[in-house]
Amino acid sequence: MKKHFWSNWSGSVQCTPESVVLPRSVEEVSEIVRAAARDGKTVRVAGSGHSFTDLVKTNQVIVSLDHLGGMVEVDTRTREATVMAGKKLYNLNDTLERYGLHMENLGDINRQSIGGAIGTGTHGTGLAFGNLSSQAIGLTLVTASGDVVECSEEQNREIFKAAQVSMGALGIIVEVRLRLVPVYRLAYVRKKGDFHETLQKGEAFAQANRHFEFYLFPYTDTVQLKFLNETTEPLMRHAFRKWFSDTLLENTAFGIISRRCRKKPERCPAMARFLARQITDTQEIDVGHRVLSTKRNVRFNEMEYAVPIADGPKAIQDIKNWIEREGIAVHFPIEYRYVKGDDIPLSPCYGRDSVCISVHMFQGMPYERYFEGCERIFRRYDGRPHWGKMHNLTAKELADLYPEWHNFQQVRMDLDPNGVFLNPYLRSLFCG
């Protein structure tokens, strides 16, 4: 039998499924799931493959919704839109802009599909905003029986809440209804700052700015601060400056430096210090999604945990101290973002305003010791892992972190009693 090849963005997950199918209608999705269930096969749905964990990995059936990415309906009066779940965020944002609409917040890239972004609770930064799943107000799922189920706050609420972050374990989301806001412009300011001062003022910055985040450069006390606020000022686009900082510095030059670090890891501290010295103050004004989303051409692996907002400063300080004490070979900056708490059972921000701290390692460099050390620190602060990023928690540990864990599992077992959507990775997460 001909085998297909599937890999995620970072190359850390690879598999050879017996089929990768690209349905062109919801009916086809139902038929694929029904046939797989009948034959006792596992079905995993893939978005853009931008997760770092084995969520999509299977040697059986992968369903890609790349041909189901259309816009179903836009209502400019209620500011809602229904889109097919395979739609990529870059395409979605361009389309919404034409209708004068916008998602209230976005993560720092736009290559994901909306179904995949929702699947893992993808988020941006901004204390007034929950993750992207919290922007979904209605979902249409193809469940393990092949049935099409609609759910929202008003209809099948239990399924809806569980499905808002469900990693493709409840079924294949085929349509997403989104709550939107009028299109907005953001004034984006980037500047260099001091780590200790930022730790003290961080929460105040997050409260005073629509979006605030910072990056800590290892082996330094330097951070890059990012402030984004709504404005009605005219667009300020500096094509050359943007290309210089976003393409040349953050991608091309960073790629060269990263390859040098991979060759000689002992260079990492010096390279991190060098990178910190290159931070320059920049400013631009553009439509929200054009500044919220950035280019990420340098490939890496990543771990991220959400910790209660009050514990964020202690957690990142502990990570900084540990890296320096142990001499960990890492040059990638550590990202620190703010996300509003929500009521989604498997959202890492369930019930608490959170700080999401992300640690990265260049593709091809060993990440295990670094990530395990950071994970020990995150766990000290009741951290919950990002579902799309690397972690080592067991089903029991996860159950202890999520008050509604068992309700989620009940909904999952009701919808998929035979585990059609469970691959070995999800089985280990959910069933132990």
Ligand X SMILES: Cc1cc2nc3c(=O)[nH]c(=O)nc-3n(C[C@H](O)[C@H](O)[C@H](O)COP(=O)(O)OP(=O)(O)OC[C@H]3O[C@@H](n4cnc5c(N)ncnc54)[C@H](O)[C@@H]3O)c2cc1C
Q: Strands across the sheet with 71-75, in order?
A: 71-75, 80-84, 172-179, 136-142, 148-152
Binding mask 16-45 for ligand X (x = CB under 6 A): ----------------------------xx
Residue 309, judged by CB atoms within 10 A of its CB (0-12, 13-18, 19+), counts as buried
CB of 298 to ligand X, least distance (A): 9
Binding mask 367-396 for ligand X (x = CB under 6 A): -------------------x-x--------
Tell me how far apart the alpha carbons of residues 71 and 85 are, in angstroms, rounded to a whole number: 9
CB of 196 to ligand X, least distance (A): 26
Residues forming beta bridges with residue 300, ordered by sequence position: 362
DSSP class of residue 209 equals S
Beta pairing, strands 61-64 & 19-21: parallel
> Among residues 23 and 269, whose Cβ is nearest to ligand X?
23
Regarding 55 and contact with ligand X (CB under 6 A), the answer is yes
Q: What are the strands, taking DSSP E only, across 236-308? A: 282-287, 300-308
> Among residues 221 and 286, whose Cβ is nearest to ligand X?
286
DSSP class of residue 86 equals T
Regarding 258 and contact with ligand X (CB under 6 A), the answer is no
- Residue 287, token pair as written in the block: 């439509």
Regarding 346 and contact with ligand X (CB under 6 A), the answer is no
CB of 325 to ligand X, least distance (A): 29
> Among residues 198 and 354, whose Cβ is nearest to ligand X?
354
Contact status, residue 123 vs residue 356, Cβ threshold 8 Å: yes
Element (H, E) at 64: strand 61-64
> Among residues 115 and 308, whose Cβ is nearest to ligand X?
115
CB of 311 to ligand X, least distance (A): 19
The single residue among 23, 115, 348, 383 that binds ligand X, judged by CB under 6 A, is: 115
Tell me how far apart the alpha carbons of residues 240 and 408 are, in angstroms, rounded to a whole number: 49
Q: What are the strands, taking DSSP E only, across 195-291? A: 211-216, 222-231, 282-287
Using the Cα atoms of residue 63, residue 69, residue 72 and residue 76 in order, give the sign of their dihedral: positive
CB of 194 to ligand X, least distance (A): 25
CB of 352 to ligand X, least distance (A): 16
Contact status, residue 140 vs residue 173, Cβ threshold 8 Å: yes
CB of 108 to ligand X, least distance (A): 4
Kindly report the number of other CB atoms within 10 A of residue 397's CB atom.
13
- Residue 192, token pair as written in the block: 């260099």
Beta pairing, strands 384-385 & 300-308: antiparallel
The single residue among 17, 116, 138, 202 that binds ligand X, judged by CB under 6 A, is: 116
Part in contact with ligand X (CB under 6 A); list of ranges 115-123, 153-161, 190-198, 392-400: 115-123
The letter for the amino acid at 325 is R
Regarding 134 and contact with ligand X (CB under 6 A), the answer is no
The single residue among 12, 51, 58, 423 that binds ligand X, judged by CB under 6 A, is: 51
The single residue among 123, 161, 262, 340 that binds ligand X, judged by CB under 6 A, is: 123
Residues of span 269-328 touching ligand X by CB under 6 A: 296
CB of 170 to ligand X, least distance (A): 8
The letter for the amino acid at 30 is S
Regarding 120 and contact with ligand X (CB under 6 A), the answer is yes
Q: Which residues bind ligand X (CB under 6 A)?
A: 9, 44-51, 55-56, 65, 85, 107-109, 112-113, 115-117, 119-120, 122-123, 167-168, 172-173, 296, 386, 388
